[in-house]
Amino acid sequence: MSRLLAALDRHWFAPASLRDLALVRILAFGTQTFFFIFFPGGYLRSLEVHLSDPSLLAPPYRPIVVLKVLLLPWGGWGDVQPSVSFLAATLGVAIVAGVLATVGLYARVTMLLAAAANTLRVAHWNSYGDYHHSEGLMIIALNVLAVAPSAAVWSVDAARRRRAEPGARAEPAGGRDDMSVFARWPLRLMQWLIALTYLSAAYSKLRFGGLEWMNGYTMAYHFLGAGMREDREIAFFLATLPPWVHILPSVATVLLELTFFVAVLVPRTAWLYVLAGVCMHLSIYASMGIAFFQTILLYSVFIESLRRYWPRVLRPPLPRLNRGRVVRQAVGRA
């Protein structure tokens, strides 16, 4: 039993680089904020247009649990429907707090605020009977990052602390100074959540579709559907290919989803799964217009495995990009 606990402790709390965590913070909050600034009316689910006149709501307002919880300070359980001005205010908070969280200024508070504002807005979007999956993992990631030491390095807060300390250095700490027992669990948690979502997708395919899901016709049918819905030429073209052409990609999709957890347990394989996952999501986007960019971005939680085991032949030829230091994992020292 004690060996199991020790193994679990190593799995979740072995010292890891705070820089990896900081990198994921910058990517996650930075991207969400970028989308809020440049696509406030669409990409991140703005609903102001629906709220201009409540009598003109197409689908009725049915708040989901998370939204009910977040709106409790403003009224009873499920009684509050956000107004246009309230949503505009949350957009402002998401942008301002998101920028500050990205650069790591007053990060403890701003990360929490940005995570809450993002959660509220997307939860509100999902409270009209129709919901989307693409933001789910990212919203969990923002909240997890907000309660982790994600801004301990590579942040304005860290720079200000360094300057305020006696004998301060201008340069950020390096080597073992940026290792922490609390730098691993947030990334590990997101790795497992990504694996579980893929497992859920594979389980659904095998349960509802069975092995016939890989018969080639199913994929042709989905391409045809995407082409019909949105007049996508590439989807129409793929639908017209002989069904047997789709068998291999179908099998590869199910295998990838079914075994993605191996990337967590065997870090040496992570690069292969990440590469395959990126290819899968990009090809789905190119062919059917279904975007899971947030999931691609969240593959950055495998940064430690990618840095250690990314094959040399796949490294970019630019010498500057290959200069990164390899941080060896110190195991069993908490």
Partner 1 sequence: MTSSPPTAARREQAYVPLTVKKLLAVMVIASCLGAQVYAAAWPSGARWWPFMNYPMYSRSYPPGRTVASYQLRALGCGAEPEARRIGARQLGYRDGHFRGELSAIARDRPKAPRHRARLSRLAGARLTPRPCALQVWGRRAALTRAGVSAAALRDMQWTLLREWRVDYPDSARVLPGP
Cβ proximity to partner 1: between 84 and 228 the closer is: 228
Taking the complex as a whole, the smallest distance from the CB of residue 313 to partner 1 amounts, in Å, to: 33
Nearer to partner 1, 243 or 309 (CB): 243
CB-nearer residue toward partner 1: 217 or 310: 217
Least gap, CB of 312 to partner 1 (angstroms):
31
Q: Distance (Å, rounded) from C-alpha 82 to C-alpha 144? A: 25
Tell which residue, 190, 169, 256, 163, has the closest CA to residue 23. Answer: 190
Least spacing, CB of residue 215 vs partner 1, in Å: 7
The least CB distance from residue 69 to partner 1, in Å, is 12
Element (H, E) at 15: none
The residue among 158, 154, 124, 122 whose CA lies nearest residue 30 is 154
- At closest approach, how far in Å is the CB of 138 from partner 1? 8
Least distance in Å: CB of 315 to partner 1? 29
Q: Which is nearer to partner 1, 34 or 261 (CB)?
A: 261
Residue closer to partner 1 by CB (options 125, 271) is: 125
What six digits make up the tokens of 5? 């606990």
CB of 161 to partner 1, least distance (A): 8
By CB atoms closer than 10 A (0-12, 13-18, 19+), residue 37 is: middle
User: Nearer Cβ to partner 1, position 18 or 99?
Assistant: 18
CA distance 98 to 105: 10
Asked whether the beta carbons of 180 and 16 are under 8 A apart, the reply is yes
Asked if 176 and 63 touch (Cβ cutoff 8 Å), the reply is no
* 19/22 Cα distance (integer angstroms): 5
Whichever of 163 and 315 has its CB closer to partner 1, that residue is 163
Nearest one of 140, 81, 146, 85 to 114, comparing CA atoms: 146
* Residues 6+ away with beta carbon under 8 Å from 119: 66, 70, 139, 142, 143
